[in-house]
Chains A and B, each alone.
Chain A
Amino acid sequence: MSKIVLEVKNIEKYYGNKSNLTKAIKNISFNVSEGEFVGIMGASGSGKTTLLNCISTIDRVTCGQIIINGQEVTKLKGNKLNKFRREELGFIFQDFNLLDTLTAYENIALALTIQKVKPKEIITRVNEVAEKLEISDILNKYPYQISGGQKQRVAAARAIITNPKMILADEPTGSLDSKSARQLLETFEKLNQNLGATILMVTHDAFTASYADRIIFIKDGKIFNELNKGNDTRKQFFEKIIEVQTLLGGDLNNVI
């Protein structure tokens, strides 16, 4: 058994006040090991984005613990929290969140400059990561000059260049056409398999999810099911996912 990178212990997240309380997350616990590619699935409103926000330290949990790489992030505050986010986590967003005024190269380098890495090192590391993600030839282009898939790969490069303990991806294929989406997911697979990156990906798309090793299904703020890819082919895994998804929507069907 490899090392556990993420440990989520009985977390809950409430919104609102006493008279009108919304429980977005109700007692969720799970672990992610080093080098694992985990998908989180659920319908909109199921609490999956809240969960990701809590893990990524953007939001705070109401109770419970989140431990990343042995550090209890739920207890971090202020600058330490920022520093932790900067150094231990990498983010990939649905809408890329690239700075439109910077070139691809600069977008990637920015993640390092704010960590005060030495300029020489920045240059070598950016070139290195660009080669791995096959974006070396577009490094000097601006975001508006490159395709959505390329943008997302630049974003991925920015996320991994800091050597984070874990990459958090929020609907990474959400803004991409199917071809670009497939390319990106293959990149993720490569990152995961060749470089041993730990990836936690939130999605509602079964195809995207089928690239993961393990999928956690969330419904109404609780873990509904968990699927392991095991030795299945991706097609088999995809069919299993669709089955669970049908189950997820089961309640609704019963009503009708």
Chain B
Amino acid sequence: MLFKLSIKNMKKSIKDYAIYFLTLVLGVAIFYMFNSLDSQQAMLKVSSSTRDLIELMIQVLGMISVFIAIILGLLIVYANNFLINRRKKEFGIYMTLGMGKRQISKIILFETILVGILSLAVGLFIGVFASQFMSIFVAKLFEADMTEFKFVFSNEAAIKTCIYFAVMYIIVMIFNTFTISRYKLINLLTKAKKNEKIRIKNLGLCILVFLIAVAMLVFAYYKVTIDSDSILTEEKMLQIIIIGTIATILIFWSVSGFILRLIQLNKKIYLKDTNMFVLRQLHNKINTTVISMSVICLMLFMTISVLSSSLALKNNMETGLLEMTPVDINLYKTANLPDTYEDWYTGETKKYNEEKVEDSRKPVSFTLENNGFDMNNLKDVIEFPTYAIEGINWKYSLGDYYEEAKKEFPNLAYHFEEQIMKISDYNKVAGLYGIQQYELNDDEYIVLCNFDSMVDLRNEGLKVKKTMEIAGKEYHVKYDTCQEGFVFMSSSHTNTGIILVPDNTNLKEEWKEQYVLVANYNANTEEEKARIDAIFQGTDTNNNQLIQNLDSKEIELDGMTKTLIIESSKGVAAVVVFIAIYLGIIFLIASSAILALKQLTESSDNKQRYNVLRKIGCDEKMINKALFRQIAIFFMLPLILAIIHSIFGIQFAMKLMAVMAKPEELLPSIIVTTIVIGIVYGLYFMATYLGSKNIIKDEN
């Protein structure tokens, strides 16, 4: 009997359930999609390093899924609570008929189970199909070949989805039982008489607040774009975020009043059709929803920024990387190895292999030729040593600033010896790299550094320590700040410091620390380059003599190739994009659902008001138009502000990630973002409009 009642209830209130159901289905589908990746990757042909990255990504996604589950859980409880509140009167009638709270709880239990099973089934169905498209997307993201297209169903993901959602539904059930047990019959039957008093804000105050908020936003926007260099510390960024958040809240507090006043000035618009009513409705409702509107706006802002900037980051990674990887290869090895070393594990003193010690006194090219590598494979070869002098370490370079620096960064390796290079060597490298070259007088030196936090530290040091002594001679720093430049390629700015000294500096042979070789591959096509690359990576089985020889002599030749850097960076970018999309879509669903439910919650008040409109002679067309406008404005306001925020936010994100993006390069990611937001937001908007229309419908 109770079960029958549940089914009938659901059929009857199917429109009320629409938003709840939509949220559940989308939640299930997306949860499945992102958790079924492991079975999808099976059909991708990717390199082992990429496969490792995908593995890592799957693990990270697994962890994020717990967080996502919590968000979805809260959302579901919220949505469910809305439904229960809508049906208070119904429960009141059951109770007057003698039904106990326990039986009512049972009815709701049946309903929750029914909706749960139905949404799981529909959600999984959609998820399974959507995940097929997702594999294509994953393949594109990792630039992998789809070996063959197979229809994949992931048992594991399906089971995981079921378990997670089952837990959520159980929490909802417990929550419901708790809510029901607190109900009092009188409150269920008589709709709680709402306080007639409506807080109407002073319009003058609204305008003032609105202008202040706009000024705050302009300030924040100015800071993150034109003046962005001044806010690169975490503290400053936090300040801007706080200012932005407060401004957002103030905007929502005052925007309706501002618009109202503005339109009131133009009687032609204000006194047309139901405009007056819609505006007043908005002004009244927005009062009670300032905080949720702000939260929704900020969530949308995050979604838009995260989605478009992560895709842009991915698109632009390559361009940025080209700058960081101006040549095909860097090779380096330690110079002047001692005869013996202390085994770090056993503490014994061991002798180095003689050949290894011998090799460490020769440049890199010697090592290569000596071990069966054909030097014709390389061109533009530049070789040079770097020096390290005992006593000239980071502590020495910081001078009197050292004590202060130690307080701020106690764990920095201050005993690290500085890497010293002759100016002519550096200029040769810089010439090949196409970066700035420098000149020095006989008693001058320059500090090169591009690792941000080290730059700050060194600049402080350079304020107090302007001289350096090498082999009894004093040198003066040429520039008071660190200069831009690097020698070793990497995926980001990681040069912690190189000191350039004049060529005639008395640098002793035993101070040589490393032998370095930079070169390009002597190849014209990508295939040839890949072949040479394989020699160094030891992946070419036909030509692995070099690696084998080095291994047998225990010679450690380190290096970094352009391909390696680009590949791993791309993979990392892809992982970031993927996770960003996952989080972004969930945030989007959460904010749309909250907005939709907020709208429907106010529907009972609206019902009365729309009935008045009907009574004074508005036809249904006019009423629907008014309703549509009201909901559309409500949905658009946070979106518009979020888009404005994003325009500036994305620029800042680009700057922060050191991505120089041209507008047209951002376009594809913006288009994708627009489509995703359009679909999800649009679905919720339609569901809200139809639901509200149903609620305000005349019962006669």
Q: How far is the CB of B217 from chain A (nearest CB, A)?
A: 28
Q: A113's contact among B275, B619, B621, B700, by CB below 8 Å, is which?
A: B275
- Counting from the closest, the 10 A-B pairs by CB-CB distance are A86-B617, A82-B619, A119-B271, A119-B267, A101-B280, A101-B284, A97-B612, A85-B617, A144-B196, A122-B271
Q: Which residues of B contact A223 (CB under 8 A)?
A: none
Q: Which of A58, A83, A106 has the most CB of B within 10 A?
A: A106
Query: Which residue of B is nearest A115, CB measured?
Result: B617
Beyond A82-B618, A91-B615, A101-B280, whether A113 also contacts B272 by CB under 8 A is yes
Q: How far is the CB of A9 from chain B (nearest CB, A)?
A: 24
B616 at the interface (CB under 8 A from A): yes
Q: Which of B200, B272, B612, B621 has the most CB of A within 10 A?
A: B612
A98 at the interface (CB under 8 A from B): yes
Check if B276 sits within 8 Å of A82, measured CB to CB. Answer: no
Q: B615's contact among A97, A100, A109, A120, by CB below 8 Å, is which?
A: A97
Q: Provide the bound-state CA to CA distance between A116 and B281, in Å.
A: 20
Q: Which residues of B contact A79 (CB under 8 A)?
A: 619, 621
Q: Which residues of A contact B622 (CB under 8 A)?
A: 114
Check if B197 sits within 8 Å of A109, measured CB to CB. Answer: no
**Can you add 20 more A-B contacts, CB < 8 Å, to A86-B618, A110-B613?**
A82-B618, A85-B617, A87-B617, A99-B280, A99-B609, A101-B280, A101-B283, A101-B609, A102-B277, A106-B280, A109-B276, A114-B274, A114-B616, A114-B617, A114-B618, A116-B272, A120-B267, A123-B267, A142-B198, A143-B196
Beyond A85-B617, A98-B612, A142-B198, whether A110 also contacts B267 by CB under 8 A is no
Q: Which of A83, A89, A110, A144 has the most CB of B within 10 A?
A: A110
Q: Which residues of A contact B275 (CB under 8 A)?
A: 113
Q: Which residues of B contact A89 (CB under 8 A)?
A: 617
Q: Which residues of A contact B197 (CB under 8 A)?
A: 144
Check if A158 sits within 8 Å of B281, measured CB to CB. Answer: no
Q: Which residues of B contact A98 (CB under 8 A)?
A: 612
B273 at the interface (CB under 8 A from A): yes
| Binary per-residue interface labels of chain B (268-299) against chain A in the complex, 1 for a CB within 8 Å, 0 otherwise | 10111111110011011000000000000000
Q: Provide the bound-state CA to CA distance between A83 and B617, in Å.
A: 7
Beyond A97-B612, A123-B267, whether A113 also contacts B273 by CB under 8 A is yes
Q: Which residues of A contact B616 (CB under 8 A)?
A: 86, 91, 97, 110-111, 114, 158
| Binary per-residue interface labels of chain B (614-637) against chain A in the complex, 1 for a CB within 8 Å, 0 otherwise | 011111011000000000000000
Query: Which residue of B is nearest A126, CB measured?
Result: B271
A217 at the interface (CB under 8 A from B): no
Q: Which residues of B contact A158 (CB under 8 A)?
A: 616
Q: Which residues of A contact B267 (CB under 8 A)?
A: 119-120, 122-123
A→B interface (CB under 8 Å)? 58-59, 78-79, 82-83, 85-87, 89, 91, 93, 97-102, 106, 109-116, 119-120, 122-123, 142-144, 158
Q: A144's contact among B198, B271, B611, B618, by CB below 8 Å, is which?
A: B198
Q: Which residues of A contact B609 (CB under 8 A)?
A: 99-101
18 residue pairs bridging A and B, Cβ less than 8 Å apart: A86-B616, A86-B617, A91-B615, A91-B616, A97-B612, A98-B612, A101-B609, A110-B616, A111-B617, A113-B273, A114-B273, A114-B613, A114-B618, A115-B617, A119-B270, A122-B271, A123-B271, A142-B198
Q: How far is the CB of A69 from chain B (nearest CB, A)?
A: 16
Q: How far is the CB of B587 from chain A (nearest CB, A)?
A: 32
In B364-390, the 8 Å CB interface with A consists of none
Q: How far is the CB of B332 from chain A (nearest CB, A)?
A: 74
Q: How far is the CB of B201 from chain A (nearest CB, A)?
A: 12
Q: Provide the bound-state CA to CA distance between A85 and B614, in Å.
A: 10
| Binary per-residue interface labels of chain B (183-197) against chain A in the complex, 1 for a CB within 8 Å, 0 otherwise | 000000000000011
Q: Provide the bound-state CA to CA distance between A119 and B272, in Å.
A: 7
Q: Provide the bound-state CA to CA distance between A87 and B617, in Å.
A: 8
Check if A101 sits within 8 Å of B198, measured CB to CB. Answer: yes
Q: Provide the bound-state CA to CA distance between A114 and B615, in Å.
A: 12
Check if B276 sits within 8 Å of A119, measured CB to CB. Answer: no
Q: Provide the bound-state CA to CA distance between A119 and B618, in Å.
A: 18
Query: Which residue of A is nearest B271, CB measured?
Result: A119
Q: Which residues of B contact A109 (CB under 8 A)?
A: 271, 276
Beyond A82-B617, A158-B616, whether A99 also contacts B277 by CB under 8 A is yes
Q: Which residues of B contact A78 (CB under 8 A)?
A: 619
Q: Which residues of A contact B268 (CB under 8 A)?
A: 119
Q: Provide the bound-state CA to CA distance between A116 and B274, in Å.
A: 10
Q: B273's contact among A59, A116, A122, by CB below 8 Å, is which?
A: A116
Q: Provide the bound-state CA to CA distance between A143 and B622, in Å.
A: 24
Q: Provide the bound-state CA to CA distance between A18 and B587, in Å.
A: 56
In B40-71, the 8 Å CB interface with A consists of none
Query: Which residue of A is nearest B611, CB measured?
Result: A97
Q: How far is the CB of B206 from chain A (nearest CB, A)?
A: 15
Q: Which residues of B contact A143 (CB under 8 A)?
A: 196
Check if A101 sits within 8 Å of B281, measured CB to CB. Answer: yes
Q: Provide the bound-state CA to CA distance between A115 and B271, in Å.
A: 11
Q: Which residues of A contact B271 (CB under 8 A)?
A: 109, 112-113, 119, 122-123
